[in-house]
A and B are shown apart, each in its own frame.
Chain A
Amino acid sequence: MSDAPETDDALPGEPRKPLRPLAAILRARERGENPDLIEKENLRARHERMRDASQHRAESRLLVLGLFFVLAFATVGIRMGMLATSPPAEPRLAGAATISSGRADITDRHGRVLATNLETRALYAHPHEMVDISQASKKLAGIFPDLDAEVLEKRLTSGRKFVWLRKTLSPEQVQAVHEIGEPGLLFASREMRVYPNGPLAAHILGGASFGDEGVRAAEVIGVAGVERAFDAQLRAPTPRPQPLELSIDMTVQSTMREVLAGGMKMFGAKGASAVIMDVHTGEVIAMSSLPDFDPNDRPPLPTKGDPADSPLFNRAVQGVYELGSVFKIFTIAQALEEGLINPSTMINTTQPLHWGKFRIRDFKDYGPQLSATDVIVKSSNTGTARVAQQIGAARQKAFLQSLGFLEPTQVELFEAPSGRPLVPKQWREIQTMTISYGHGLSSSPLHLAAGYASLLNGGTRVTPTLLRQYGRQLGDRVVSERTSAAARDMLRKVVSEGTASFAEVPGYAVGGKTGTADKPRRGGGYYKNKVLATFASAFPAHDPKYTVIVTLDEGRTQILGKERRTAGWIAVPVAAELIRRTAPLLGVRPESVPAPTAGVRQAQNSNG
């Protein structure tokens, strides 16, 4: 039985039936028939049975499969129905959503708008759809005087299918272009950034420009100032963008710009800057740098000349200068704090002070010795330098570090890191002596404002900020209350008795220090007749609320037949006018000076 069939193909439940039943085959052989036919017939019969069985089994499975497909199609259909009947939650113009629009506004501390958006249109052309290119070019040149008809026609006939013509159009211009009646001139919707106050706070706001431009929308990106520093936050696509609230007070800012521009013009200065800062919070209430620009029409970056002369340059933050005698108060305050002197300690002011080959002189000879207070009041370089010798380089450096003079300010401007102070590589005794009266270390007016605020607010460090703060920001202590009070007294005396007598503003007890710094010459040495005049002040002097820094670059005036360049003549009157006009705006009550001394000082002043 070698040819016996396999047994595994028998269907279950059936008795196994051989494919070649021996009896039948033998019978067939006897009859002389081919026995293979019997096998084939049996095989066929078995296949038939298997087919029937498998069809039965497949029937139910096919039904399951059919049900699966019906369910699947129904699921997709129901899902489609749900989608179709749900409201379109996503913005209708999905293209506009890719390019975020609705940049958040920027406001001042009282919610007045400094930067906002305006719906406008951009103009582009599909030259292949245009009917009469040369006629349209002429008419466009008529609407936009800065377009040249011939150049335009050349651009439109260059074979391109898409040409941008204008970035922003006024409604009148849109109407005028409509009236050309040219089907190939098309408008793209835009949101443009608008600074309704023009150049006011230009350096703070910086500016914005278009990034990716599309037909449906264009991306508005910040290019400088807070617009760039907070770009991501301002652009964040939120349903209702919260405005960015700055610490700036628009009215104070406006007054500052006006006063500073007036002072700059009066004294023929080539530049000027000013900062008003809240001494307790570090908030910059107003900050100006002149010359300035209109952020609505931001000029291109200068390609030649000194970038520091460009209107884009923020003198108050980016400009680092040797600020001169305004630094003396830091030296004297540190000596007071360290217990090296007290305000009436007599200090050697013999002229000149020799140190190696260097000689230090005062503006004029004040005699062999002055009290510490008088060193400040008369602004004696030799006196301050001798005090600095006692302090020493290491302690001086640590103190200036604690006031923030050795690093760029952390103010929230894109440009802030570029205002890195210039610190001497070697900080030895001679550097200590020159830095003590403000030479050899360059820092920005904003550094100075923060330094004065920290020193005079009772002695705690403040960090300059452009964001609205709520409540005092108490930093690390830099000097004691007592030292702070003594420094305030000295600064008040500078105004009442010393070099800054023009700073007397009735009722506001201004205290401050002048600084007239020779401008360093490129490549070493100092100019003989170019100075930076600075007045650093705080008011009211006995309990300061605000510090005011004013610097004028290369200002001079003719008074009493003499050319005057010192800060007392140049920067102080500007600062006094600034305080006189802004103090009421800032809500500082006048005549808050303690009564007994006030009368004396005012009488003295009116005499002088």
Chain B
Amino acid sequence: MTEMAHGTAPHRGADPLLPRWWRTVDRWSLSCAVMLFGIGLLLGFAASPPLAERNGLDPFHYVERQALFGLIALVAMVICSMLSPTAVRRIGVIGFLIAAVALAFLPVFGTNFGKGAVRWYSIGFGSVQPSEFLKPMFVVLCGWLMAAGLQIGGPPGRVLSFIVCVVIVGMLALQPDFGQACLIVFAWCVMYFVAGAPVILLGLVAGLVIAAGVFTYGASEHFARRIDGYLSTEIDPTTQIGYAANAIREGGVFGVGLGEGEVKQNLPDAHTDFIIAVAAEEYGLILVLCILALYATIAVNALVRLLRERDPFVRYAGTGLVAILAMQALINIGVAARLLPTKGMTLPFVSYGGSSVIAAGITVGMLLALTRARPQGRMADYLARARG
């Protein structure tokens, strides 16, 4: 009766798990994610030996670790993608609570690794960055809250999700980790947009943005010059961004060749935040465009699949997961391309780092779970099932 009341699909006859998974999963996105991870490993071979040497480790120390993390991430992705939306929701909510508590206790038990921000827990063989895991869990929680808000007599989901968002952003800003905070805000905004943000509000925001743009570039030439000056100081070749831009230029269309790059010698974060600069230098624009195309494929493919989705929770959570994945990639590459100010943000799947890779695996895994082909309660679905 509960099933009837909540409109879930009726129980289907026993169907072997893996074939059903393979039939219904978004194989395009799955293969894109696996390819991205492969590229990450390939770039790790180029980018991390200088760092390993500096730290007095075996040259391929970081590549080996990354391969191990990648394996864990792939397994996590596949397992997550087999879950039902309900299971995703439960794991998301419980995971969110754990990650939020971990985040809250960071100032007490965390380590800063001399980077000025307390973002990590140091455990035995490595370190964990709770904010990486928090992002997908937060998205799932907000999807659930927003969907529940639609129910007649349901909780005020949008308001609750907004409060959660503000609290999390506050905690991230205290670390400080403005990059992740931006991402959280962006994901919430996207979900709110899809969940039916009032047209008036959207118009207001658009109007404000346009007004600000007009003010900045049209009305005040002086201000525009100051921005130009600010940007040009960033081109200082001694900054990370300067090294990265230079590496991209050196690489050109086809790259300087395998192992010939220099940026990895100069950039301390070549294997994490600026991995795209290594890619651009050694393999050229071609590989950068490939990476961009892979992320775009995942995002567009997932959004197209969500178009047909009738379950609000699945739609919201799915959109949010797409948003954090695509936006993180956009920010990371945009920083290297000097479109955005520097943020400490990894490139999902590609950058080195256990937390980052495993969290990306969970994100895409959950997204795959949510975008799996499933009956949408329409006649056509039932007819199709009857035929198949």
Least distance between B189 CB and chain A CB atoms (Å) = 11
Q: B250 near A88 (CB under 8 angstroms)?
A: yes
CB contacts (< 8 Å) of B304 on chain A: these are 66
In the docked arrangement, what's the CA distance between A66 and B306, Å?
Answer: 11
- Given the known inter-chain contacts A44-B5, A84-B284, A89-B249, please indicate yes or no for A94 contacting B296, CB distance below 8 A: no
Indicate if B367 sits at the interface (CB-CB under 8 A): no
Q: Which of A21-57 contact B (CB under 8 A)?
A: 40, 43-44, 46-48, 50-52, 54-55, 57
In the docked arrangement, what's the CA distance between A76 and B266, Å?
Answer: 24
* Residue from the list B153, B195, B337 in contact with A83, Cβ < 8 A: B337
In the docked arrangement, what's the CA distance between A76 and B250, Å?
Answer: 18
Q: B238 near A94 (CB under 8 angstroms)?
A: yes
Q: A76 near B330 (CB under 8 angstroms)?
A: yes
Least distance between B197 CB and chain A CB atoms (Å) = 9
Indicate if A118 sits at the interface (CB-CB under 8 A): no
Indicate if B36 sits at the interface (CB-CB under 8 A): no
Indicate if B237 sits at the interface (CB-CB under 8 A): yes
In the docked arrangement, what's the CA distance between A379 and B266, Å?
Answer: 72
Q: A51 near B310 (CB under 8 angstroms)?
A: yes
In the docked arrangement, what's the CA distance between A85 and B253, Å?
Answer: 7
Indicate if B307 sits at the interface (CB-CB under 8 A): yes
CB contacts (< 8 Å) of B284 on chain A: these are 84
Q: A61 near B285 (CB under 8 angstroms)?
A: no
Q: A84 near B339 (CB under 8 angstroms)?
A: no
CB contacts (< 8 Å) of B312 on chain A: these are 51, 54
Q: B339 near A75 (CB under 8 angstroms)?
A: yes
- Given the known inter-chain contacts A70-B300, A72-B330, A76-B330, please indicate yes or no for A6 contacting B310, CB distance below 8 A: no
Q: B7 near A47 (CB under 8 angstroms)?
A: yes
CB contacts (< 8 Å) of B251 on chain A: these are 84
- Given the known inter-chain contacts A40-B5, A84-B253, A84-B284, please indicate yes or no for A97 contacting B310, CB distance below 8 A: no
Residue of B with least CB distance to A84:
B285
Q: CB-CB contacts of B318-340 with A at 8 A, as 1s and 0s?
A: 01001100100010011001110
* Residue from the list B152, B153, B289 in contact with A80, Cβ < 8 A: B289
Q: B285 near A47 (CB under 8 angstroms)?
A: no
CB contacts (< 8 Å) of A72 on chain B: these are 326, 330
CB contacts (< 8 Å) of B243 on chain A: these are 94
In the docked arrangement, what's the CA distance between A62 and B295, Å?
Answer: 17
Q: B252 near A84 (CB under 8 angstroms)?
A: yes
- Given the known inter-chain contacts A65-B319, A69-B296, A94-B242, please indicate yes or no for A77 contacting B194, CB distance below 8 A: no
Least distance between A180 CB and chain B CB atoms (Å) = 24
Q: A84 near B288 (CB under 8 angstroms)?
A: yes
CB contacts (< 8 Å) of A584 on chain B: these are none
Indicate if B24 sits at the interface (CB-CB under 8 A): no
Indicate if B91 sits at the interface (CB-CB under 8 A): no
In the docked arrangement, what's the CA distance between A341 and B69, Å?
Answer: 100
- Given the known inter-chain contacts A80-B289, A88-B249, please indicate yes or no for A61 contacting B193, CB distance below 8 A: yes
In the docked arrangement, what's the CA distance between A77 and B289, Å?
Answer: 6
Q: A58 near B315 (CB under 8 angstroms)?
A: yes
Indicate if B373 sits at the interface (CB-CB under 8 A): no
Q: Which of B5-34 contact A (CB under 8 A)?
A: 5, 7
Q: B250 near A69 (CB under 8 angstroms)?
A: no
Least distance between B185 CB and chain A CB atoms (Å) = 16
Q: B292 near A79 (CB under 8 angstroms)?
A: no
CB contacts (< 8 Å) of A6 on chain B: these are 152-153
Indicate if A5 sits at the interface (CB-CB under 8 A): yes
Indicate if A59 sits at the interface (CB-CB under 8 A): yes
Residue of B with least CB distance to A72:
B330
Indicate if B108 sits at the interface (CB-CB under 8 A): no
Q: A62 near B330 (CB under 8 angstroms)?
A: no
Residue of B with least CB distance to A215:
B265
CB contacts (< 8 Å) of B322 on chain A: these are 69
Most chain B CB neighbours (cut-off 10 Å) among A51, A59, A97: A51
Q: A90 near B306 (CB under 8 angstroms)?
A: no
Q: B288 near A77 (CB under 8 angstroms)?
A: yes
In the docked arrangement, what's the CA distance between A155 and B150, Å?
Answer: 75
CB contacts (< 8 Å) of A65 on chain B: these are 190, 193-194, 303, 319, 323
Least distance between B16 CB and chain A CB atoms (Å) = 31
CB contacts (< 8 Å) of B292 on chain A: these are 73, 76-77, 80
In the docked arrangement, what's the CA distance between A89 and B249, Å?
Answer: 8
In the docked arrangement, what's the CA distance between A44 and B1, Å?
Answer: 12
CB contacts (< 8 Å) of B195 on chain A: these are 54, 58
Residue of B with least CB distance to A99:
B238
In the docked arrangement, what's the CA distance between A50 and B295, Å?
Answer: 33
CB contacts (< 8 Å) of A48 on chain B: these are 7, 377
Least distance between A203 CB and chain B CB atoms (Å) = 35
How many residues belonging to A are interface residues under a CB distance threshold of 8 Å? Answer: 48
Most chain A CB neighbours (cut-off 10 Å) among B7, B153, B245, B303: B303
Indicate if B124 sits at the interface (CB-CB under 8 A): no
In the docked arrangement, what's the CA distance between A369 and B22, Å?
Answer: 126
CB contacts (< 8 Å) of A92 on chain B: these are 246, 250
Q: A63 near B307 (CB under 8 angstroms)?
A: yes
Residue of B with least CB distance to A66:
B303
Most chain B CB neighbours (cut-off 10 Å) among A5, A52, A73, A92: A73
Indicate if B177 sits at the interface (CB-CB under 8 A): no
CB contacts (< 8 Å) of A81 on chain B: these are 285, 289
In the docked arrangement, what's the CA distance between A76 and B119, Å?
Answer: 28
Q: CB-CB contacts of B206-239 with A at 8 A, as 1s and 0s?
A: 0000000000000000000000000000010110
Q: B334 near A76 (CB under 8 angstroms)?
A: yes
In the docked arrangement, what's the CA distance between A88 and B262, Å?
Answer: 14
Q: A83 near B245 (CB under 8 angstroms)?
A: yes
- Given the known inter-chain contacts A76-B334, A84-B251, please indicate yes or no for A69 contacting B299, CB distance below 8 A: yes
Indicate if B380 sits at the interface (CB-CB under 8 A): no
Residue of A with least CB distance to B251:
A84
Q: CB-CB contacts of B271-287 with A at 8 A, as 1s and 0s?
A: 00000000010001100
Indicate if B4 sits at the interface (CB-CB under 8 A): yes
In the docked arrangement, what's the CA distance between A374 and B249, Å?
Answer: 81
CB contacts (< 8 Å) of A40 on chain B: these are 4-5
- Given the known inter-chain contacts A6-B153, A70-B296, please indicate yes or no for A90 contacting B334, CB distance below 8 A: no
Indicate if A524 sits at the interface (CB-CB under 8 A): no
Indicate if A18 sits at the interface (CB-CB under 8 A): no
Q: B238 near A62 (CB under 8 angstroms)?
A: no
Q: A79 near B337 (CB under 8 angstroms)?
A: yes
Q: A80 near B248 (CB under 8 angstroms)?
A: yes
CB contacts (< 8 Å) of B334 on chain A: these are 76, 79
CB contacts (< 8 Å) of B114 on chain A: these are none
Q: B306 near A62 (CB under 8 angstroms)?
A: yes
In the docked arrangement, what's the CA distance between A86 and B300, Å?
Answer: 30
Residue of B with least CB distance to A77:
B292
Q: B246 near A84 (CB under 8 angstroms)?
A: no
Indicate if A98 sits at the interface (CB-CB under 8 A): yes
- Given the known inter-chain contacts A6-B152, A47-B152, please indicate yes or no for A76 contacting B299, CB distance below 8 A: no
- Given the known inter-chain contacts A61-B194, A62-B307, A65-B303, please indicate yes or no for A97 contacting B150, CB distance below 8 A: no
CB contacts (< 8 Å) of A77 on chain B: these are 288-289, 292
State the A residues within 8 Å of B (CB).
5-6, 9, 19, 40, 43-44, 46-48, 50-52, 54-55, 57-59, 61-63, 65-66, 69-70, 72-73, 75-77, 79-81, 83-92, 94-95, 97-98, 161
A and B contact pairs by CB, cutoff 8 A, 24 listed: A43-B152, A44-B5, A47-B152, A48-B377, A50-B150, A52-B310, A54-B150, A54-B195, A58-B315, A59-B307, A62-B194, A62-B306, A65-B194, A66-B299, A69-B296, A70-B296, A72-B326, A72-B330, A80-B333, A81-B289, A84-B252, A84-B288, A92-B246, A161-B56
Known contacts A73-B296, A84-B285, A92-B250; 4 additional CB pairs below 8 A are A44-B5, A51-B310, A54-B312, A80-B337
